[in-house]
A and B are shown apart, each in its own frame.
Chain A
Amino acid sequence: MTTAPSQTEPQAQGDILFDIRGVGRYFGSGDIQVKALDDINLTIARGEFTAIVGPSGSGKSTLLQLMGGLDAPSVGDVHLNNKSIAHMSGRELSDFRRDHIGFIFQAYNLIPVLSAQENIEYIMLLQGVPAAQRRQRVQAMLNTVGLEGYADRRPAQLSGGQQQRVAVARAMVSRPSIILADEPTANLDSVTGSALLDMMKGLNESRSMTFVFSTHDPKIMERASRLIHLQDGRVVEDERRG
C-alpha cells in the first residue's frame, strides 16, 4: 500500500510509537539556509520493520538523529509514546536515549576498552539494572546473536560481523522502545549482512521489536515491512508491504 507523501496514516492509535509532526531541520540562515528536512509528518507503529531510503543527502540520517533525540528539530515536534522529545533538557534526552532508544551504527561503535559482554552490559549499568539480572540478560543476548564463547573478547578481537552482532545485542538488551539502525550492513560482506538482517527480522517478528533503518542496502529494503522514501528532505513515498 502506498500513501501520499507526508500524510502517513497511523495504525490503531494505541500502537503508535513515534509521532513526527511538521518537523523541519534547517541549517544556516537567510539565503544560505539549507533544509535538511522539511515538513515531515510520520508515525511509526510498534513492531514495524521500517526502512528509510533515499539518495545521499536526502535527510535519512538527520531524521534518525531527530527520532533518537540526538538533535532537535528547527520546527515541529517529535513524540515518543505521546511525549514530546523536542524540548527536553540535555539530561532528560540522555535518559530518554538510555531508556527508549537502541542505536546500531554503521561502524559498530563498540567501546574498545570493554569486552563484548561489558559492551552489551553498558546501558544496563547506566540504568542500574542489578548484576544478576544483567548477567542473565547478557548471556541470553549473546546466545541470541550467536556469540556464545565470545563474551570476554574485546572488539579488536572480533570480526566486523561479530562486532555488529554485539552492537545489535547492545541495542536490544536494555529492551528499548525502538531500534534505530544507520546503514548497519554497510561495512559487512553480503553473507554476513544477510545473516545479521535475518537475525534482526527474526527478533522483530518474535519479540515485536520496532526497527527503523536508514539504508541504501537492497537486502534491508527486501525485508522491510515499510519503506519511507526521502528526497531533498521530504517524504516522497511511504510504502507499506503485506
Chain B
Amino acid sequence: MPKMLMLTLALRNVFRNSRRTLLTVGLIACGLAALMFTDAMVRGMSQSMVRIATGTLLGQAQIHRAGFRRNNDVDLYITHSDHLLQLLHDDPAVAVAAPRVITGAMLASSENVAAAMVYGVDGAAEAQLGKLQQAMVAGDYLHAGNGSAEGQRQLLVGTGLARLLEVELGDRVVITVSQIQGGDLSQELFRVSGMFHFNDRMLDQNLAFITLPRGQRLLGMDTGVHEIALRLPAPPAFDWQRYNGDWRGQVLQTLSWEKLIPQLSGVLEMSNVSTLIVAGILFMLVALGLINSMFMSIYERQYEFGVLLALGTRPVQLFWQILYEGFFIGVLSALSGLVLGGLLTWWKAATGIDYGNLEMSGVTLQEPIFPMLHWAQFTWMPLSIVLMTLVASLYPAWHAARLQPTRAMRKTL
C-alpha cells in the first residue's frame, strides 16, 4: 500500500511544477532524439559508404593469388582461372564473379603521356558487379567485339585521364606495359571508345579499361587473371575458406571488402565509437540537467519532506518516492524523445541528406545519406534513458532520505 501511495505522490509531484517538468522532459527528450538521429545517421552513412565503396568497382570480396596485392606483381596471376570461374558461377553464394587482369601502364596519346592502372575486364560481368557501365558519360561500353579490329582496340578512360591525355572519343592511345615472366615491354594501340565518370577523382584520373582477352594478350598470358571480384547477395552465407589456400599448385587469397579497404572499416568502427562517445556525453549532460532539476524540486519541498518524515514516513519510502519521480520523468522523456527522434529520423530517412560529393576515407559520397531506422533506436536507447534518469535520481533520493525532520522543518516543530 505505501508503494502505491509513494507512486501517487511521485506522479502528482512530477506535474506539480509543470513548466520545470516540461523543460526537464524536453531536455532529456531532445537528448534522446539527438542520439537516435546520430545513430541513424551513422548507420545510414556506413551503409552508403560500404555500398558506394563495394558497388563502384571493388565488389564485396576479391580473390587473388597470394601476394599479388602487396605490389600488384603481374607475375602473380591465377592460373586455371576458367575452372575457378566455373566453380564460382556454380556457387549459390556468389551472384557475380568478374575476372580482371590488372597492370600499371604508360598511356600515350598524340598530345600527352600519363601513368594509369589498366584493367582488362569482362564487360558483361563488370556491368553486373559495379557501376562502370552506369558511369559511362560518352561513347560505348565494352562489348565482345567478335574479334574485329575495332572490338579489340576498345579503351575506356576516365574523364580525368582523358583530360590529362587530351584525348576525345576515337583518338588513338598507345598502352605500354611490362609483360609477365621477364618484364618485356609490350605496346599496343587502342582507340578511346568510351569515357566514364565515377565522380571520384582518384578513379577518374587513374583508371583505364580494356577487354579481358586484350589485356591478357597485352601481358602475354593465356587465360590467367589477377583478380576475381565478387558480388555476394548474402556475405555471411559465403564460404570464405573455400577459395583460400592451395588450389591447383598456387595459393589463393580471398579477402572481404573490410580487408581490401581497411581504412573504411576503420572509419566505420570509429563511427560506432563516436556514437558511443556522443551517447556518453549526451547522457552525462542530461543526467546533470536532471539532477539539477531534481535537487531544485527537493530543496523547494524540503520542509514538506520534513513533514512527511514527522508523520511517520520512513526514509526508505521517501527514497522510493524520489526514485519514482525520476522514473516518471524518464518515461515521459523517453516517450517524447521517441516521438521526436522517430519523426525526425523517419523524415530524413525518406528525404535523405545530400553531402554534395564529400569525400571520406577515399569514398566519395555520390548519393544522399539516408538515416537508417533501427530497432535499437526504439528499444535500448529509450530504455537507457529511463535507466539513466533512475540512476541520476539516486543521489537526490538518497539526499532526501537522509533529511532530519527537525532540520528539514526549519520552522517550529
Residues of A within 8 A of B (CB): 61, 64-65, 68, 70-71, 90-91, 94-99, 101, 103, 105-107, 109, 111-114, 122-123, 125-128, 170, 180, 182-183, 214
Contact = CB atoms under 8 A, between A and B. Distances in A.
Given A97-B312, A105-B413, A123-B311, A112 B2 contact: no
A113 B13 contact: yes
Given A103-B413, A128-B1, A94 B309 contact: yes
23 contacts: A61-B413, A65-B406, A65-B413, A68-B310, A68-B413, A70-B310, A70-B413, A91-B315, A94-B314, A95-B312, A97-B309, A97-B312, A103-B413, A105-B412, A109-B307, A112-B16, A112-B304, A113-B12, A122-B5, A125-B2, A126-B311, A128-B2, A180-B413
A84 B263 CA distance: 75
Contacts of A114: 9, 12
B19 interface: no
Interface string B391-413: 00000000000000110000111
Contacts of A107: 411
Interface residues on B, range: 20 to 34
B351 interface: no
B308 A111 contact: yes
Which 5 interchain pairs have the tightest Cβ spacing? Answer: A98-B312, A182-B413, A113-B12, A109-B307, A94-B314
Which of B9, B311, B312 has the most C-beta atoms of chain A within 10 angstroms of its own C-beta? B312
Contacts of B181: none
Given A65-B406, A111-B9, A105 B307 contact: yes
Which of A70, A122, A182, A214 has the most C-beta atoms of chain B within 10 angstroms of its own C-beta? A70
Nearest to B304: A111
B310 A214 contact: no
B310 A103 contact: yes
B297 to A, nearest CB: 12
Contacts of B315: 90-91, 94
B413 A125 contact: no
A125 to B, nearest CB: 5
B406 A126 contact: no
Interface in B7-33: 9, 12-13, 16
Contacts of B312: 94-99, 101, 123, 126-127
B313 interface: yes
Contacts of A122: 5, 311
A91 B5 CA distance: 18
A214 B413 contact: yes
Which of B4, B16, B313, B314 has the most C-beta atoms of chain A within 10 angstroms of its own C-beta? B314
B5 A70 contact: no
Interface secondary structure of B, over-half rule: helix
A107 B310 CA distance: 14
A66 to B, nearest CB: 10
Contacts of B304: 109, 111-112
Interface string B288-328: 00000000000000011001111111111100000000000
B263 to A, nearest CB: 59
A15 B9 CA distance: 39
Nearest to A127: B312
Contacts of A127: 312
A68 B306 CA distance: 13
A177 to B, nearest CB: 13
Contacts of A123: 311-312
B1 A125 contact: yes
A98 B405 CA distance: 13
A97 B313 CA distance: 9
Nearest to A113: B12
A128 B1 CA distance: 6
A87 to B, nearest CB: 16
Nearest to A103: B310
B16 A214 contact: no
Contacts of A91: 314-316
A162 to B, nearest CB: 18
A96 B405 CA distance: 14
B406 A70 contact: yes
B311 A103 contact: yes
Nearest to B16: A113
Given A98-B313, A182-B412, 10 more contacts: A61-B413, A68-B413, A90-B315, A105-B307, A106-B412, A111-B9, A113-B13, A114-B12, A122-B311, A125-B1
B299 to A, nearest CB: 16
A65 B13 CA distance: 28
Contacts of B303: 109
A142 B350 CA distance: 61
A211 to B, nearest CB: 14
Nearest to A110: B307
A62 to B, nearest CB: 9
Contacts of B1: 125, 128
A180 B405 CA distance: 15
A94 B307 contact: no
A182 B303 CA distance: 15
A96 B310 CA distance: 10
Contacts of A98: 311-313
Contacts of B413: 61, 64-65, 68, 70, 103, 105-106, 180, 182, 214
Contacts of B5: 122, 125-126
